[in-house]
Chains A and B, each alone.
Chain A
């Protein structure tokens, strides 16, 4: 599926001790999630797109082929949902949504009609006259979305759209948001540090660390082939960088047999559940096998997650029964192995 590129930007923002520099292309109708740890520059990127933070030398933004970085924020065809929504506390939900159309020159009645339509779409017709302080978190989030969409933007920006919600509301709002985003025909950029939000909502992930892009791709690609420790932690994989020589990858002296054939620098990734632990050295191939010391033990869902230290550090998920049988406690020496079929190698 090829869609025309709606947003084509190079975002350069310079601050003392921090530089953001990233290329971003988003197709019409596509949802891109900027994912990254705190302080990576996600929100700065979003503010730069909205025109709230000025671009430095070399930065540019074009929307549907028109340069917009020269325009002030109020003239850009951009809608933004802020992290804590920033609904105007003195205006009703309806007037909050009508604010944008009014600013775009619509008459009072016309703007309110448009706002009512948007509120209906997000299912809040009953709360049209409520002041923001009387709305629940989920309702406020939907009003904020309606308000941003009511200006009929070509680019929709969402800053941590679900972060302010409790777990239950989050689940519900996430799926509603997914539906609204797929109805939107412009480009969408959302910022999140929650991998689940990113996977569910976005067509493509752009991972930012320290102001630059470290990895991008579909949620599936990024999930299967993490390229940084941060991404690996997010998607819950053990990730190592080593050297490949045909069907083997060597990482810190440990040899992994892998399904793929590669040469040169390579990543090896496997799930913690693919690791098996033994009290004594198992027979057979010396590959995919290393001796480790247990560093920590914690609950992880129904299983127990073991932190392993050794030539390589790794997580292993085992059953509680195994913990009892093998007497797995911090400080104990164990042998760890992983099946070749469960490892995944790709060029670094």
Chain B
């Protein structure tokens, strides 16, 4: 998995001015790069082609109109967006802490942050149940004190998705922070900015492309989340049944319906990502 960020600001104005419009390197694309690139592209695109080839176009419209499909789609978009918001709120400060504050055990914390990436999502879901479930370490107390239980609720879906998706955001924002020129923060300090002000008014705008990239990754991961969600939040139409869950269950009886659902999810996410890309990534 590669997480790339394009957040490095020009270090000096002079350097930025001198940057040539187009690189002067020309000539043929070397086949050592072209062949693997094309194989890679085919590898990623062919399964999608498979879905399109098998899609039941004749019944597509009827299936799309089913209230359960729209319900699942609405829930997926809602929860993925909420999970991304949670990740931004908690993940950006965490990334800042990892990139900017030297504290004992920082390497360990950094390693722990990536645990959800390695953990099979279903195991992640069980782990969440053990902590936030009705009898979990914290869940028990939440239930006693506030009568709040997260499993089997829409909030539970958001929690499961955020758990799995947050590392994507943290890693990409931390990378952006490390690549950003820290001297801009020093310049802000000499102008009287506290660390918070410097972060808010200087660092954050500078790493915005990295944050957006991380947020998009995070959102996409949350949208496709299955294992942790079904384990922690269960599956109930309208409350916790997101698109991936609907796809999985449709696969049990009606593979064609599963293909339709997958295509809907794909189409919607591609459209949203494309719009975001135009708005954010290419804007400066």
Direct contact of A and B (CB under 8 A): yes
A interface list, Cβ under 8 A from B: 50-52, 72-76, 78-80, 82, 84-90, 99-100, 103-104, 132-133, 135-137, 140, 147-148, 151, 157, 164
A84-B14, A89-B9, A140-B13 are contacts. A72–B189 as well, Cβ < 8 Å?
yes
User: Of all chain A residues, which has the CB nearest B17?
Assistant: A133
B interface list, Cβ under 8 A from A: 9-14, 16-17, 181, 183-184, 186-194, 197, 201-202, 205-206, 208
Interfacial chain A residues near B12, Cβ < 8 Å: 84-85, 164
A74-B192, A90-B205, A99-B193 are contacts. A137–B187 as well, Cβ < 8 Å?
no
Q: Are A89 and B189 in contact (CB under 8 A)?
A: no
Given contacts A85-B12, A86-B181, A133-B10, 9 further A-B contacts (CB under 8 A): A51-B189, A73-B189, A74-B194, A75-B192, A79-B191, A99-B191, A132-B13, A148-B190, A148-B191
Interfacial chain A residues near B208, Cβ < 8 Å: 90
12 contacts between A and B (CB under 8 A): A50-B190, A73-B186, A73-B190, A78-B190, A80-B187, A85-B13, A89-B9, A99-B201, A100-B192, A103-B197, A137-B17, A147-B191
Q: Are B14 and A99 in contact (CB under 8 A)?
A: no
Give the complex CA separation of A116 and B75 in angstroms: 50
Give the complex CA separation of A164 and B186 in angstroms: 19
Interfacial chain B residues near A133, Cβ < 8 Å: 10, 13, 16-17
Give the A-B pair count, Cβ closer than 8 A: 85
Give the complex CA separation of A56 and B84 in angstroms: 45
Give the complex CA separation of A87 and B14 in angstroms: 11
Q: Are A84 and B189 in contact (CB under 8 A)?
A: no
Interfacial chain B residues near A137, Cβ < 8 Å: 13-14, 17
Q: Are A84 and B192 in contact (CB under 8 A)?
A: no
A204: shortest Cβ distance to chain B, in Å? Answer: 23
Q: Are A104 and B13 in contact (CB under 8 A)?
A: no
Q: Are A89 and B206 in contact (CB under 8 A)?
A: yes
Interfacial chain A residues near B13, Cβ < 8 Å: 84-85, 87, 132-133, 135, 137, 140
A87-B13, A133-B10, A164-B12 are contacts. A103–B183 as well, Cβ < 8 Å?
no
Give the complex CA separation of A133 and B15 in angstroms: 9
Q: Are A74 and B193 in contact (CB under 8 A)?
A: yes
B187: shortest Cβ distance to chain A, in Å? Answer: 4
Interfacial chain B residues near A51, Cβ < 8 Å: 189-190
Q: Are B189 and A151 in contact (CB under 8 A)?
A: no
Give the complex CA separation of A148 and B189 in angstroms: 11
Interfacial chain A residues near B10, Cβ < 8 Å: 89, 133
Q: Are A151 and B16 in contact (CB under 8 A)?
A: no
Q: Are A52 and B189 in contact (CB under 8 A)?
A: yes
Q: Are A99 and B189 in contact (CB under 8 A)?
A: no
Interfacial chain B residues near A75, Cβ < 8 Å: 192
User: Of all chain B residues, which has the CB nearest A132?
Assistant: B13
Interfacial chain B residues near A103, Cβ < 8 Å: 188, 191-194, 197
A87-B13, A103-B192 are contacts. A52–B197 as well, Cβ < 8 Å?
no
User: Of all chain A residues, which has the CB nearest B202?
Assistant: A88
B209: shortest Cβ distance to chain A, in Å? Answer: 11
Give the complex CA separation of A74 and B197 in angstroms: 10
Pairs of residues from A and B, 10 with the lowest C-beta to C-beta distance, nearest first:
A84-B12, A103-B192, A100-B191, A73-B189, A86-B187, A80-B190, A90-B205, A140-B13, A103-B193, A133-B16
